[in-house]
Amino acid sequence: MKLRFWIVLGLVIAAGLVLFAQSDGNSGDSPAVSEPYFGEMEPGRTPRAFARNILGRDLHTPPIFSPDGASVYWCTMDGGDIQWMRFEDGAWQSPEIIPFAANSPFPIYSDSPFLSADGSRMYFNSWRSSHETIWYSELTEAGWGSPEQLPFETTPPRSHWGFSVTEAGTLYFGSDGEIYVADLSSGVYTSPRPIGPPISTDGREEMPYVAKDGSYMLFASDGHPNSLGDYDLYLSIRQPNAAWGEPIHLPSPVNTTHRDMYPTMSPDGEYLFFLSNRYGDPCAFWVDASVVTDLLP
Protein backbone atom coordinates (compact mmCIF):
# COMPACT_ATOMS: atom_id res chain seq x y z
CA MET A 1 0.00 0.00 0.00
CA LYS A 2 2.82 2.41 0.91
CA LEU A 3 4.64 1.65 -2.37
CA ARG A 4 1.46 2.34 -4.31
CA PHE A 5 1.01 5.65 -2.46
CA TRP A 6 4.54 6.83 -3.29
CA ILE A 7 4.14 5.86 -6.95
CA VAL A 8 0.91 7.86 -7.22
CA LEU A 9 2.45 10.81 -5.38
CA GLY A 10 5.44 10.77 -7.73
CA LEU A 11 3.16 10.85 -10.77
CA VAL A 12 1.21 13.80 -9.34
CA ILE A 13 4.42 15.75 -8.66
CA ALA A 14 5.75 15.00 -12.15
CA ALA A 15 2.50 16.21 -13.71
CA GLY A 16 2.63 19.36 -11.62
CA LEU A 17 6.17 20.09 -12.77
CA VAL A 18 5.09 19.75 -16.41
CA LEU A 19 2.19 22.15 -15.89
CA PHE A 20 4.47 24.61 -14.09
CA ALA A 21 6.93 24.53 -16.99
CA GLN A 22 4.06 25.42 -19.34
CA SER A 23 2.86 28.35 -17.21
CA ASP A 24 4.37 31.67 -16.13
CA GLY A 25 6.92 29.65 -14.17
CA ASN A 26 8.99 29.36 -17.35
CA SER A 27 9.34 33.13 -17.70
CA GLY A 28 11.48 33.98 -20.72
CA ASP A 29 11.24 30.55 -22.36
CA SER A 30 9.84 30.18 -25.86
CA PRO A 31 6.85 27.88 -26.35
CA ALA A 32 7.31 24.80 -28.55
CA VAL A 33 3.92 25.14 -30.22
CA SER A 34 2.78 25.44 -33.80
CA GLU A 35 -0.60 27.04 -33.07
CA PRO A 36 -1.09 30.69 -34.06
CA TYR A 37 -0.33 33.31 -31.43
CA PHE A 38 1.82 30.95 -29.35
CA GLY A 39 -1.18 28.70 -28.72
CA GLU A 40 -2.55 31.19 -26.16
CA MET A 41 -6.17 30.75 -25.10
CA GLU A 42 -8.25 32.94 -27.40
CA PRO A 43 -9.97 35.93 -25.81
CA GLY A 44 -13.61 36.85 -26.13
CA ARG A 45 -14.87 40.39 -25.71
CA THR A 46 -13.10 40.62 -22.36
CA PRO A 47 -9.39 41.42 -22.80
CA ARG A 48 -6.87 38.80 -21.71
CA ALA A 49 -3.21 39.31 -20.89
CA PHE A 50 -1.13 37.98 -23.79
CA ALA A 51 2.01 35.86 -23.43
CA ARG A 52 3.44 37.66 -20.41
CA ASN A 53 5.89 34.81 -19.79
CA ILE A 54 7.29 35.27 -23.31
CA LEU A 55 7.14 38.98 -24.11
CA GLY A 56 7.68 40.31 -20.60
CA ARG A 57 5.74 42.62 -18.30
CA ASP A 58 7.17 46.07 -19.03
CA LEU A 59 6.42 46.60 -22.71
CA HIS A 60 6.78 49.64 -24.93
CA THR A 61 4.85 48.03 -27.82
CA PRO A 62 2.33 45.23 -28.17
CA PRO A 63 3.31 42.19 -30.27
CA ILE A 64 3.38 42.83 -34.02
CA PHE A 65 2.86 39.57 -35.92
CA SER A 66 3.83 39.03 -39.54
CA PRO A 67 0.99 38.23 -41.98
CA ASP A 68 2.03 34.55 -42.10
CA GLY A 69 2.16 34.35 -38.29
CA ALA A 70 5.70 32.96 -38.39
CA SER A 71 7.44 35.91 -36.74
CA VAL A 72 6.61 38.47 -34.06
CA TYR A 73 8.22 41.79 -33.06
CA TRP A 74 8.02 43.94 -29.91
CA CYS A 75 9.95 46.32 -27.64
CA THR A 76 10.31 46.79 -23.89
CA MET A 77 10.22 49.96 -21.80
CA ASP A 78 13.92 49.84 -20.95
CA GLY A 79 14.86 51.57 -24.19
CA GLY A 80 16.01 48.33 -25.79
CA ASP A 81 15.90 47.60 -29.48
CA ILE A 82 13.31 45.64 -31.43
CA GLN A 83 13.10 42.02 -30.32
CA TRP A 84 11.77 39.26 -32.50
CA MET A 85 11.01 35.56 -32.52
CA ARG A 86 10.68 33.17 -35.45
CA PHE A 87 8.75 29.95 -35.80
CA GLU A 88 11.17 27.42 -37.29
CA ASP A 89 11.60 23.66 -37.20
CA GLY A 90 8.27 23.17 -35.47
CA ALA A 91 8.93 25.55 -32.57
CA TRP A 92 9.27 29.20 -31.64
CA GLN A 93 12.93 30.12 -31.35
CA SER A 94 14.37 32.18 -28.50
CA PRO A 95 13.93 36.00 -28.65
CA GLU A 96 16.69 37.97 -30.36
CA ILE A 97 17.48 41.61 -31.13
CA ILE A 98 16.56 42.19 -34.76
CA PRO A 99 19.80 41.88 -36.80
CA PHE A 100 19.94 45.43 -38.21
CA ALA A 101 19.77 46.81 -34.64
CA ALA A 102 22.13 44.38 -32.92
CA ASN A 103 25.34 45.96 -31.60
CA SER A 104 24.22 49.47 -32.54
CA PRO A 105 26.33 52.07 -30.68
CA PHE A 106 24.61 54.29 -28.12
CA PRO A 107 22.46 56.40 -28.57
CA ILE A 108 21.20 54.69 -31.75
CA TYR A 109 18.22 52.45 -31.12
CA SER A 110 15.24 50.99 -33.01
CA ASP A 111 11.72 50.97 -31.59
CA SER A 112 7.98 50.74 -32.38
CA PRO A 113 7.99 48.29 -35.32
CA PHE A 114 5.16 48.38 -37.86
CA LEU A 115 4.84 45.97 -40.80
CA SER A 116 3.42 46.74 -44.21
CA ALA A 117 0.27 44.84 -45.18
CA ASP A 118 2.27 42.19 -47.06
CA GLY A 119 5.01 41.99 -44.41
CA SER A 120 7.77 42.94 -46.85
CA ARG A 121 8.70 46.23 -45.20
CA MET A 122 9.26 47.12 -41.54
CA TYR A 123 8.88 50.71 -40.43
CA PHE A 124 10.28 51.76 -37.06
CA ASN A 125 11.27 54.76 -34.96
CA SER A 126 14.96 55.39 -34.45
CA TRP A 127 17.16 58.04 -32.89
CA ARG A 128 19.76 58.08 -35.66
CA SER A 129 19.83 61.84 -36.19
CA SER A 130 19.01 64.89 -34.05
CA HIS A 131 15.64 63.48 -33.03
CA GLU A 132 13.43 60.42 -33.46
CA THR A 133 12.44 59.80 -37.06
CA ILE A 134 10.88 56.93 -38.98
CA TRP A 135 13.10 54.47 -40.79
CA TYR A 136 12.39 51.32 -42.75
CA SER A 137 13.96 48.02 -43.73
CA GLU A 138 13.07 45.76 -46.66
CA LEU A 139 12.72 42.01 -46.24
CA THR A 140 15.02 40.06 -48.57
CA GLU A 141 15.87 36.39 -49.00
CA ALA A 142 18.77 36.99 -46.60
CA GLY A 143 16.55 38.68 -43.99
CA TRP A 144 15.92 42.31 -43.06
CA GLY A 145 18.10 44.72 -45.04
CA SER A 146 20.02 47.80 -43.98
CA PRO A 147 17.74 50.56 -42.61
CA GLU A 148 16.99 53.69 -44.62
CA GLN A 149 15.35 56.89 -43.42
CA LEU A 150 11.84 57.56 -44.67
CA PRO A 151 12.09 60.47 -47.17
CA PHE A 152 10.09 63.67 -46.54
CA GLU A 153 9.79 66.90 -48.48
CA THR A 154 10.67 68.83 -45.32
CA THR A 155 12.11 67.86 -41.95
CA PRO A 156 9.24 66.15 -40.09
CA PRO A 157 8.44 66.55 -36.39
CA ARG A 158 9.99 63.93 -34.17
CA SER A 159 8.01 60.69 -34.20
CA HIS A 160 7.43 58.88 -30.94
CA TRP A 161 5.70 55.60 -30.15
CA GLY A 162 3.22 53.88 -32.41
CA PHE A 163 2.38 54.90 -35.96
CA SER A 164 0.61 53.41 -38.96
CA VAL A 165 0.95 53.18 -42.74
CA THR A 166 -1.97 52.32 -45.01
CA GLU A 167 -1.78 50.16 -48.14
CA ALA A 168 -1.74 53.37 -50.19
CA GLY A 169 1.31 54.50 -48.19
CA THR A 170 -0.36 57.27 -46.15
CA LEU A 171 1.52 57.72 -42.88
CA TYR A 172 0.00 58.59 -39.47
CA PHE A 173 2.20 59.24 -36.45
CA GLY A 174 2.18 61.00 -33.09
CA SER A 175 4.43 63.86 -32.03
CA ASP A 176 4.20 65.77 -28.75
CA GLY A 177 0.59 64.76 -28.17
CA GLU A 178 -0.65 65.49 -31.71
CA ILE A 179 -1.38 63.03 -34.52
CA TYR A 180 0.08 63.97 -37.90
CA VAL A 181 -0.61 62.65 -41.39
CA ALA A 182 1.63 62.65 -44.47
CA ASP A 183 0.83 61.45 -48.00
CA LEU A 184 3.17 59.49 -50.24
CA SER A 185 3.86 61.29 -53.53
CA SER A 186 6.37 59.96 -56.08
CA GLY A 187 8.22 58.01 -53.39
CA VAL A 188 8.51 60.98 -51.00
CA TYR A 189 6.27 61.96 -48.09
CA THR A 190 4.61 65.36 -48.11
CA SER A 191 5.12 67.73 -45.18
CA PRO A 192 3.22 66.22 -42.23
CA ARG A 193 0.11 68.13 -41.16
CA PRO A 194 -1.81 67.90 -37.86
CA ILE A 195 -4.93 65.78 -38.14
CA GLY A 196 -6.97 68.33 -36.20
CA PRO A 197 -10.50 68.05 -34.70
CA PRO A 198 -12.52 66.07 -33.89
CA ILE A 199 -9.61 63.75 -33.05
CA SER A 200 -7.31 66.45 -31.65
CA THR A 201 -7.94 67.93 -28.20
CA ASP A 202 -6.06 70.05 -25.69
CA GLY A 203 -4.82 66.76 -24.23
CA ARG A 204 -2.64 64.09 -25.83
CA GLU A 205 -3.50 61.97 -28.86
CA GLU A 206 -0.95 59.30 -29.66
CA MET A 207 -0.28 55.89 -31.19
CA PRO A 208 -2.62 55.86 -34.19
CA TYR A 209 -3.49 52.62 -35.95
CA VAL A 210 -5.27 53.09 -39.29
CA ALA A 211 -7.01 50.30 -41.20
CA LYS A 212 -5.20 49.13 -44.31
CA ASP A 213 -7.84 50.77 -46.51
CA GLY A 214 -7.89 53.94 -44.41
CA SER A 215 -11.53 53.44 -43.38
CA TYR A 216 -11.04 53.83 -39.64
CA MET A 217 -8.49 54.88 -37.03
CA LEU A 218 -7.78 53.60 -33.53
CA PHE A 219 -5.77 55.82 -31.22
CA ALA A 220 -5.00 56.56 -27.57
CA SER A 221 -6.04 59.81 -25.91
CA ASP A 222 -6.37 61.40 -22.47
CA GLY A 223 -8.07 64.57 -23.73
CA HIS A 224 -11.63 63.57 -24.60
CA PRO A 225 -14.32 64.28 -21.97
CA ASN A 226 -15.37 60.62 -21.60
CA SER A 227 -11.83 59.49 -20.71
CA LEU A 228 -11.76 57.26 -17.64
CA GLY A 229 -8.73 59.05 -16.23
CA ASP A 230 -5.65 58.24 -18.31
CA TYR A 231 -4.99 57.12 -21.88
CA ASP A 232 -8.10 55.42 -23.29
CA LEU A 233 -8.67 53.80 -26.69
CA TYR A 234 -10.87 55.49 -29.28
CA LEU A 235 -12.23 54.72 -32.75
CA SER A 236 -12.79 57.29 -35.49
CA ILE A 237 -14.53 56.28 -38.73
CA ARG A 238 -13.77 57.90 -42.06
CA GLN A 239 -16.87 59.72 -43.32
CA PRO A 240 -18.18 59.80 -46.92
CA ASN A 241 -16.67 63.29 -47.30
CA ALA A 242 -13.25 61.86 -46.24
CA ALA A 243 -13.34 63.69 -42.86
CA TRP A 244 -12.71 61.78 -39.66
CA GLY A 245 -15.77 61.08 -37.54
CA GLU A 246 -16.38 61.94 -33.91
CA PRO A 247 -14.23 59.61 -31.76
CA ILE A 248 -16.03 56.65 -30.20
CA HIS A 249 -14.85 55.54 -26.76
CA LEU A 250 -14.24 51.78 -26.87
CA PRO A 251 -16.44 49.97 -24.34
CA SER A 252 -15.41 48.66 -20.96
CA PRO A 253 -13.64 46.37 -20.13
CA VAL A 254 -11.34 47.35 -23.01
CA ASN A 255 -10.95 50.79 -21.45
CA THR A 256 -10.33 51.05 -17.71
CA THR A 257 -9.28 53.71 -15.21
CA HIS A 258 -5.71 52.58 -15.91
CA ARG A 259 -3.52 53.47 -18.89
CA ASP A 260 -4.85 51.69 -22.00
CA MET A 261 -2.88 52.55 -25.12
CA TYR A 262 -1.09 51.51 -28.33
CA PRO A 263 -3.90 49.75 -30.25
CA THR A 264 -3.10 47.55 -33.23
CA MET A 265 -5.08 44.92 -35.12
CA SER A 266 -3.72 41.46 -35.83
CA PRO A 267 -2.87 40.87 -39.51
CA ASP A 268 -5.81 38.46 -39.89
CA GLY A 269 -8.18 41.09 -38.48
CA GLU A 270 -9.40 38.76 -35.74
CA TYR A 271 -7.94 40.46 -32.66
CA LEU A 272 -7.20 43.85 -31.19
CA PHE A 273 -3.88 44.01 -29.35
CA PHE A 274 -3.00 46.86 -26.99
CA LEU A 275 -0.97 47.77 -23.92
CA SER A 276 -2.40 48.31 -20.45
CA ASN A 277 -0.98 48.74 -16.96
CA ARG A 278 -4.14 47.42 -15.28
CA TYR A 279 -2.04 44.65 -13.69
CA GLY A 280 0.92 46.88 -12.84
CA ASP A 281 3.64 47.23 -15.46
CA PRO A 282 2.51 47.75 -19.09
CA CYS A 283 1.61 44.34 -20.51
CA ALA A 284 0.20 43.15 -23.82
CA PHE A 285 -3.53 42.39 -23.95
CA TRP A 286 -5.72 41.02 -26.71
CA VAL A 287 -9.47 40.96 -27.26
CA ASP A 288 -11.84 39.86 -30.01
CA ALA A 289 -11.85 42.39 -32.85
CA SER A 290 -15.64 42.58 -32.67
CA VAL A 291 -15.22 45.26 -29.95
CA VAL A 292 -14.13 47.44 -32.90
CA THR A 293 -15.84 45.94 -35.95
CA ASP A 294 -19.30 45.98 -34.32
CA LEU A 295 -18.99 49.78 -34.18
CA LEU A 296 -18.25 50.11 -37.90
CA PRO A 297 -20.99 50.92 -40.40
In angstroms, rounded to a whole number, what is the distance separating the alpha carbons of residues 250 and 50? 19
pLDDT of 13 above 60: no
Confidence band (pLDDT; 50, 70, 90) for 101? confident
Structural domain includes residue 8? no
Go through 179-200 and write b for each residue having 16 or more CB atoms within 10 A of its CB, e for each that does not.
bbbbebeeeebbebeebeeebb
> Tens digit of pLDDT for each residue in 223-276?
999 999 899 999 999 999 999 999 999 999 999 999 999 999 999 999 999 999
Average pLDDT over residues 206-227: 97
What pLDDT is attached to residue 106? 67
First-last CA distance in the chain: 68
pLDDT of 105 above 80: no
Q: What is the mean pLDDT of the chain?
A: 88
Structural domain includes residue 22? no
pLDDT of 28 above 60: no
Task: Give the chain's length.
Answer: 297
Average pLDDT over residues 195-207: 97
**In terms of residue numbers, what domain contains 165?**
43-293
What pLDDT is attached to residue 109? 81
> Tens digit of pLDDT for each residue in 106-160?
667 889 999 999 999 999 999 876 778 999 999 999 999 999 999 999 989 988 8
pLDDT of 21 above 90: no
Average pLDDT over residues 58-86: 92
Encode the chain in three state secondary structure: CHHHHHHHHHHHHHHHHHHHHCCHHHCCCCCCCCCHHHHCCCCCCCCEECCHHHHCCCECCCCEECCCCCEEEECECCCCCCEEEEEECCEECCCEECHHHCCCCCCCCEEEEEECCCCCEEEEEECCCCCCEEEEEEEECCEECCCEECCECCCCCCCCCCEEECCCCCEEEEECCEEEEECEECCEECCCEECCCCCCCCCCEEEEEECCCCCEEEEEECCCCCCCCCCEEEEEEECCCCCECCCEECCCCCCCCCCEEEEEECCCCCEEEEEECCCCCCEEEEEECHHHHCCCC
Structural domain includes residue 26? no
pLDDT of 79 above 90: no
Degrees (nearest 5) of the Cα angle 99, 71, 122?
A: 60
Structural domain includes residue 59? yes
Structural domain includes residue 15? no
Average pLDDT over residues 92-96: 92
Structural domain includes residue 201? yes
Beta bridge partners of 193: 181
Instruction: Give the predicted TM-score (pTM) of the model.
Output: 0.87
Tell me, what amino acid is at 34? Answer: S
What pLDDT is attached to residue 254? 98
What pLDDT is attached to residue 10? 43
Instruction: CATH number of the domain at 186, please.
Output: 2.120.10.30
CB 169 within 8 A of CB 150: no
Count of domains forming the chain:
1
Closest by CA position to 258, among listed 293, 292, 223, 222 = 222
Cα 27 → chain centroid: 21
Go through 142-173 and write b for each residue having 16 or more CB atoms within 10 A of its CB, e for each that does not.
eebeebeebebeeebbbbbbbbbbbeeebbbb
What pLDDT is attached to residue 31? 52
Structural domain includes residue 23? no
pLDDT of 7 above 70: no
Structural domain includes residue 283? yes
Q: Give burial (CB, 10 Å; 0-12/13-18/19+) of 176.
A: exposed
In angstroms, rounded to a whole number, what is the distance separating the alpha carbons of residues 265 and 118? 14
